[in-house]
């Protein structure tokens, strides 16, 4: 069993890539399984600096190919499995996504036998949706709560609707937030938690509608992708999800 001491999580070096290719090729030859079929994707990820490994300088125990919204491919070397390395790689990938400001991690569980693992890592599998490669789609929201450092409070509400809201006002929101935000300089209101435009059954979230109100008065209602939404605080993270941490009052400079 590989020793745990002196292990690091780092960007893959050329010799790491060669080691990974060797074991993936062998695994495919011996079992017909593994991710050697995705070697070209792994190589492109390495070239882009998105391939990370866990191990010592000369012994790669596993790797993860990070996509914008979460791990794209994760595998532990066959003879190093059942020792917790997969969980460690997943935890590191989740932490890295959080540091990048990702709001929702979206993954594809393939093969299907990986589903219990990802469920233990906090991901929810959506039975009615499949990933781009045909595997099970799963997601995990990375919640963020904020300490409100001022006593001044302003009531707010934020609701996200499917695109059909633009034509049917009776459409109900798929997600709503409401409460008291902290007043900050320059007309900004700090929310107590991140408001995320996300629903697992909606594929094109950029056409969704957001309605933002301050003290009961609507200040914006239209698509999240519009510049007007950005002007009042709607942001887009590296995983292409829209969110708000703050609201900017319309007359704020």
Angle at CA of residue 145, ends 141 and 149, nearest 5°: 165
Q: Where are the domains of the chain?
A: 8-102, 153-248
Q: For position 214, what pLDDT does the model report?
A: 96
- pTM for the model stands at 0.88
Q: For position 201, what pLDDT does the model report?
A: 92
**Whether 175 contacts 202, CB under 8 Å:** no
Residue with tokens 């239209």: 222
Q: What are the pLDDT tens digits along the chain (253 aa)?
A: 444 445 788 999 999 999 999 999 999 999 998 899 999 999 999 999 999 999 987 889 999 998 777 778 999 999 999 999 999 999 999 998 999 999 999 999 988 899 999 999 999 999 889 887 788 999 999 999 999 988 889 999 999 999 999 999 899 999 999 999 999 888 899 999 999 999 999 989 999 999 999 999 999 999 999 999 999 999 999 999 999 999 998 875 5
Which are the contacts of 59, defined by CB distance < 8 A and separation ≥ 6?
2
Q: For position 1, what pLDDT does the model report?
A: 40
Instruction: Tally the residues of the chain.
Output: 253
3-state class (DSSP) for residue 54: strand
Q: In this structure, what token pair is assigned to residue 64?
A: 């993860």
What's domain 8-102's architecture?
3-Layer(aba) Sandwich (3.40)
Q: Which residues pair with 196 in a beta bridge?
A: 243
Which are the contacts of 48, defined by CB distance < 8 A and separation ≥ 6?
none
pLDDT tens across 146-164, in order? Answer: 999 888 899 999 999 999 9
Cα separation of 62 and 60, whole Å? 6
Which are the contacts of 241, defined by CB distance < 8 A and separation ≥ 6?
69, 102, 103, 104, 196, 197, 198, 205
């Amino acid at each position: 069993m590989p020793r745990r001491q002196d292990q690091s999580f780092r960007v893959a070096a050329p010799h790491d890539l060669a080691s990974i290719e060797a074991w993936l090729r062998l695994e495919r030859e011996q079992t017909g399984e593994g991710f050697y079929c995705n070697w070209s994707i792994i190589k492109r990820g390495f070239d882009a600096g998105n391939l990370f490994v866990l191990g010592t300088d000369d012994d790669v125990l596993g790797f993860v190919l990070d996509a914008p919204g979460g791990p794209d491919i994760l595998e532990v070397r066959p003879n190093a499995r059942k020792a917790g390395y997969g969980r460690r790689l997943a935890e590191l990938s989740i932490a890295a996504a959080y540091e990048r400001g990702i709001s929702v991690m979206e993954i594809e569980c393939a093969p299907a036998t990986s589903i219990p693992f990802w469920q233990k890592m906090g991901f929810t599998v959506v039975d009615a949706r499949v990933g781009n490669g045909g595997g099970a789609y799963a997601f995990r929201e990375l919640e963020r709560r904020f300490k409100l450092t001022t006593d001044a409070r302003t009531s707010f509400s934020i609701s996200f609707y499917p695109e059909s809201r633009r034509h049917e006002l009776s459409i109900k929101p798929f997600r709503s937030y409401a409460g008291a935000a902290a007043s900050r300089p320059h007309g900004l209101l700090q929310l107590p938690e991140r408001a995320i435009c996300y629903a697992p059954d909606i594929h094109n979230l950029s056409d969704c509608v957001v309605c933002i109100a301050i003290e009961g008065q609507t200040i914006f209602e239209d698509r999240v992708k519009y510049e007007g939404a950005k002007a009042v605080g709607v942001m887009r993270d590296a995983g292409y999800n829209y969110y708000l941490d703050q609201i900017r009052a319309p007359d704020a400079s």
